[in-house]
Amino acid sequence: MALILSRRLGALRNIMTQMKTIQPYCSSVTAGRQHINGIQLYYEKTGIGKHAVLLIPGALGSTLTDFGPQLKSLNKEMFTIVGLDPRGYGRSRPPERDFPLDFFERDAKDAVDLMKALGFGRFSLLGWSDGGITGLVVAARNPELIHKMVVWGSNAHVSQQDLSIYHAISDVSQWSARMRKPMEDMYGAEVFPKIWKAWVDGISQFAHRPEGSICKELLPQICCPTLIIHGEKDPMLPSFHPQYLLKHIKGSSLHVIPEGKHNLHLRFAAEFNKIVQDFLTE
């Protein structure tokens, strides 16, 4: 058992490094800030297409760390692509990030209000990990606004197995300097461990809710076409999570990438982008 846990921890640390590696992207991306719900929310935008697409990053993530290949390579003629830094993350600071029990609902409201402020009455969503959870809430709460949705690395509840995974990577002092560097570059060596520990505590609190629900009760309210993508080798997301989403989101579909891990949209960017573009335009 100790050997299995050690191997799992090593795999998780490796994924955390890879998934937060800063990705360069093209200079056609423009940046800005909008005053949204009492804060200055940072966003980046590219493309001139009529189909607006919102990118929502994962835990502690930003457009810079999480979506370089998508901002660079998704079709700029078909889509107008917007990436946001959620409040307290990346360049949407201040405020300091916190994790009340409704933080996904809060992030969802920020995302919708940002798109409205930018003039988009209807849009599609791409959500990774925590960003996918936020996307699920957005789609359930605002069915009239969402055209299509793609989520990957996301869960609607927290199980005991998930708790073990979260706590295995909670102490960043156990990570190598190379693994810590991207987040230390973004947040600083003193602040990053505090935010990461707060995230672990924040996501873990859902385990105390009935059935560990984050947003299970909202899934039947989602009516937009939904594509769930899963990396078969994802050490951070047990396969029962995408299966649960598939079962409870009406009309959804599941695409499995056999060699994919948690950062499949970075590791297999060309394949991922093609899957997404085909889905959004079909």
What type of residue is 214?
A: I
Which residues are registered as beta bridge partners of 231? 257
Q: Which of 41, 89, 47 is nearest to 65 (CA)?
A: 89
Among 234, 241, 252, 265, the one annotated catalytic? 234
Cα atoms in the 13 Å half-sphere on the side-chain side of 178: 4
Is-contact 23 67, C-beta < 8 A? yes
Q: Which of 157, 241, 262, 265 is catalytic?
A: 262
Cβ-contact 28, 44 below 8 angstroms: no
CA gap 241, 172 in Å, rounded: 26
Cα–Cα distance measured from residue 27 to residue 50, given in angstroms and rounded to the nearest whole number = 21
- Which residues have CB under 8 Å from 193's CB, separation 6+? 172, 173
User: Under a CB-based contact definition with an 8 Å cutoff, are residues 73 and 273 in contact?
Assistant: yes
129 is catalytic: yes
Q: Is 262 a catalytic residue?
A: yes
The answer to whether residue 110 is catalytic is no
CB atoms under 10 Å from CB of 232, counted, come to 12
- CB atoms closer than 10 angstroms to residue 269: 18
Task: Determine the length of the chain.
Answer: 282
Cα 197 to chain centroid, rounded: 18
- Nearest 5 degrees, angle CA 255-CA 261-CA 266? 90
Q: Kindly name the residue from 62, 92, 129, 252 that is annotated as catalytic.
A: 129
By the 8 A CB rule, do 25 and 94 touch?
no
Active-site residue list: 129, 234, 262
